[in-house]
A and B are shown apart, each in its own frame.
Chain A
């Protein structure tokens, strides 16, 4: 039994490393994607949203406001327009994303101690653009306003602080934890990397099984696996996991360093946490592989499912808002648990106790897919051979008919 197991591990490793198609998915794609996927988000936060200014006042105060706007890290003044008509056209053509309108009499109102206002028009088609531009504009105007406020109170000899408290006695202070700059790459890439492990593993295993099946059908020489179904499954499991443990080191040791993501866990802890993740993925792959007839069939299904897995894993859309049936499906995917616990360990510095629930769920999934894979290997393994015989018979019949 042990001898068979080692033999199978060796045979599977041999199959992986001798098959350029499998290598390109299980090694090439993992490396390639981990450098390409963060690319669009590499600047982390959106800065310098292009803006148009309409200055009807043309005073020293309005010019000061324009300069302050341009100096804001969120904004960049790209054009000055005489009226709304022209500025709006710039937005429609995508040249800028917002307009700041300073009305006539702006400086006069301020000097005479009256209240005045400026108008911000921001394109809300894209969420991030709207948020950054509006935040930048509101912050700039508040800074200007506060400066005027302070000097007014000074001339009157009153306490500015007291007036502020009177206006708003209770205030909320927001503190961001774990991703303080709300970086988009830090938010999305660590989750996608874990998903990448799952999806490439599933395609790779689908290809390995598909190849074996195609070669059996074409009666090519295949190195046979030995032992019962359990020993066969375990052989492939250990071979694939050995390869993917290297990937985990690659992610947390190399990719995190290169893209400068915060890593708040020890790599060793990540190994321990992700062990049942890899195990459940390998076993799920061996279960699914029974349904793919040829080498390529698995790819479509798995590219599709990677989009699905991102959407339902809970990091992009909160699980509390999902309908129960979607939540039930997501619970069957190792990525849901792996991403949820893995992010909290690597990004937030959670200890093992905090992710125990996810860890145990992944062991449970491993057992679930082991049973399914075992049943399928035991009872379905013979089906393709039968089918191929049938097809040969059919072809022979057709041939005769044609004659």
Chain B
């Protein structure tokens, strides 16, 4: 950089970094284009927050008035669409194996007659639980439809019994259970899932870009020159270099929160300020991780492989899809090392759970602890910067 010759310190490194970014298209791509595309994708994917019109087949062996009205009622449910009428279970099973239906409703022969004769009837729902989500949604909607139909049936035996019948009914269900749903009364998981995916995408980019920026100094054998630009101070070299990324990712973080709360309508019942602080800490924590990884793996591609493992599998370990309580100890331990776990914990407390700020302080402190870990590493990191043995490793 001819213009900056002679100047050293934070600003010189900052200017040097900006010219580095301008030479490589991958930085703006990973800092702006991909994160924004991710948010758009999540928004598009969950623009229908609840699945509807899931294809289902019907095997009607009864061919009665009741079976026809049951089929009509099932088809009228917004969640289910009867896409096929199969002649027998074999045909229905083939449809499921072809992947065109999630479930089939089996109506056995003489269902109507059995009910009219007071013997009671049953229909069977065969669900493909390999497709966990649509399978369970279809099965619970079918349950609701059948319950409604059953309640509306006026069967002869019920009419004739009179007073004794009433007494018998009062003996049923001696103990009932009242269900109370805490924190998420609408049982809406889609907006929460989509909100959790956004920071997951963000941490991928923060970590990978940090590792790319720091590691390429070693790969290109420019680490010593970088330190010289900073006037020999590793602190200024690192802060000067990462400042621009921190600014850009903070901006992305703000856009992310705007997308989540304005775009996805996630309720913000807690403190917005704590969430914003948490978002900044999340970014800093992943930058600290980047520093640690570049220190541990002098070869850039090893550092990138390690960071792709750390960030790419994070979503499996944070306990959103499968809760932490169910994980083995090793899984729990790994999960607690991920800043994302603590961020999403804080995120839930401040959105769904309406927790007081004091509850979220430990999460903030843990994320700050990761940043502190990175800070403590700086003197050791400096020893790598001036040691030519760590340079030039692809």
Contacts and interface: CB of A to CB of B under 8 A. Distances in A.
Given A40-B322, A308-B38, 8 more contacts: A21-B302, A29-B305, A153-B171, A162-B118, A166-B161, A168-B147, A296-B300, A326-B41
A340 interface: yes
A167 interface: yes
B9 interface: no
Contacts of B309: 29, 32-33, 36
Contacts of A176: 127, 129, 135
Given A173-B123, A315-B131, A354 B94 contact: yes
A375 interface: no
Interface of B: 2, 26, 29-30, 34, 38, 41-42, 44-48, 51-55, 66, 70, 94, 96-99, 102, 111, 115, 118-136, 139, 142-143, 146-147, 149-151, 153, 155, 157-158, 161, 164-165, 168-185, 187, 189, 192, 197, 200-201, 204-205, 208-209, 212, 299-302, 304-305, 308-309, 311-313, 315-317, 319-323, 325-328, 330-331, 334-335, 348, 352-353, 355, 359, 394
Contacts of A25: 305
B371 to A, nearest CB: 23
B326 A145 contact: no
A118 B180 CA distance: 11
Interface residues of A, number: 119
Interface of A: 21, 24-25, 29, 32-33, 36-37, 39-43, 45-47, 49-50, 91-93, 97, 110, 113, 115-130, 134, 137-138, 141-142, 144-145, 148-149, 152-153, 156, 158, 162-180, 182, 184, 186-188, 207, 211, 214, 293, 295-297, 299-301, 303-304, 306-308, 311-312, 315-318, 320-323, 325-326, 340-341, 343-344, 347-351, 354-355, 357, 398, 401-402
A307 B312 contact: yes
Given A141-B175, A323-B47, A174 B139 contact: yes
Contacts of A300: 26, 30, 34, 204-205, 208-209, 212, 304
Tell me which of B200, B301, B305 has the highest count of chain A C-beta atoms within 10 A of its own C-beta.
Answer: B301
Contacts of A341: 99
Given A118-B175, A166-B169, A295-B301, A173 B125 contact: yes
Contacts of A49: 325
Given A49-B325, A163-B168, A172 B41 contact: no
Q: Which 7 A-B pairs have the closest CB atoms?
A: A165-B120, A124-B184, A350-B97, A172-B146, A170-B150, A46-B326, A145-B175
Given A41-B322, A169-B121, A300-B208, A36 B130 contact: no
Contact of B171 (A21, A149, A348): A149
Nearest to B42: A311
A21 B171 CA distance: 72
A347 B355 contact: no
A147 to B, nearest CB: 9
B184 to A, nearest CB: 4
A401 B317 CA distance: 54
B367 to A, nearest CB: 17
B363 to A, nearest CB: 11
A43 B328 contact: yes
Contacts of A174: 124-125, 127, 139, 142-143
